[in-house]
């Protein structure tokens, strides 16, 4: 994914402002999308003709590496953007995000359709809800997938709420059986 990484600059012959950025997209595509991105649209408001120029092809292994290289370019060049020293640039947090993404790719994305249904079920159950009959039809949720919700419901401490949700869960299982 990051083997197509590039460091680029946005500039105009109408003025001296330069924006330096990084992308994994083709430069032409990035130029089309850049005018809608908050940190770049100032340069698009200021000038009519914006050009994109490749500064460096930089194949790397992660977004952290790419951001570090981008920050290096920002520090060493006169440009309108600043280095963002947010938590998401913290190397420890970035490595956690990369590991989570790698885990998700291995676990969830083998079967995209199944992973989509699993994530929907996880989201619904975290919110303390049971899928509606319409959702069951729409996403083709199976009884086995519904039973996985009980694992998530185990975290609910209020017994009355847990019993109410379990009752709804069994109603949905009956509904699936009737669909067959």
* Range of weakest confidence among 47-56, 62-71, 108-117: 108-117
pLDDT value of position 87: 46
Model confidence at 88: pLDDT above 60: no
pTM: 0.47
In DSSP terms, which residues pair with 10 in a beta bridge? 19, 52
Using 50, 70 and 90 to split pLDDT, how confident is the model at 152? Answer: low
Mean pLDDT along residues 69-75: 85
Nearest to 31 by CA among 49, 46, 17: 49
Across 4-33, average pLDDT? 89
pLDDT for 35 beyond 90: no
Domains of the chain, start order:
2-85 (3.40.1440.10), 111-179 (no CATH)
Report DSSP letters for 91-103, one per residue: HHHHHHHHHHHHH
- Contact in structure between 2 and 21 (CB atoms under 8 Å): no
pLDDT band at 85 (very low <50, low <70, confident <90, very high): very low
Mean of all residue pLDDT scores within the chain: 78
Q: pLDDT, tens digit, for every residue of 100-147? A: 777 777 766 666 666 766 777 777 666 567 778 887 887 778 888 777
**Measured between alpha carbons, how far is 86 from 108 in angstroms, rounded to an integer?**
29
Q: Does position 172 have pLDDT exceeding 90, yes or no?
A: no
């Amino acid at each position: 994914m990051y083997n197509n990484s590039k460091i680029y600059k946005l500039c105009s012959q109408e003025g001296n402002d330069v924006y330096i950025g990084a992308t994994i997209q083709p430069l032409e595509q990035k130029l089309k999308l850049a005018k809608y991105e908050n940190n770049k649209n100032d340069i698009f408001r200021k000038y009519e003709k914006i050009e994109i120029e490749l500064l460096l092809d930089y194949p790397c292994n992660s977004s952290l590496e790419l951001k570090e290289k981008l920050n290096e370019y920002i520090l060493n060049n006169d440009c309108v953007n600043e280095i963002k020293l947010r938590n998401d640039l913290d190397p420890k947090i970035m490595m956690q995000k990369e590991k989570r993404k790698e885990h998700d790719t291995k676990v969830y994305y083998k079967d995209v359709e199944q992973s989509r249904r699993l994530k929907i079920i996880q989201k619904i159950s975290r919110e303390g809800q049971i899928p509606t009959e319409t959702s069951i039809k729409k996403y083709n949720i199976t009884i086995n997938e519904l039973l996985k919700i009980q694992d998530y419901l185990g975290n609910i401490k209020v017994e009355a709420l847990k019993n109410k949700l379990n009752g709804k869960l069994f109603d949905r299982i009956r509904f699936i059986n009737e669909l067959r």
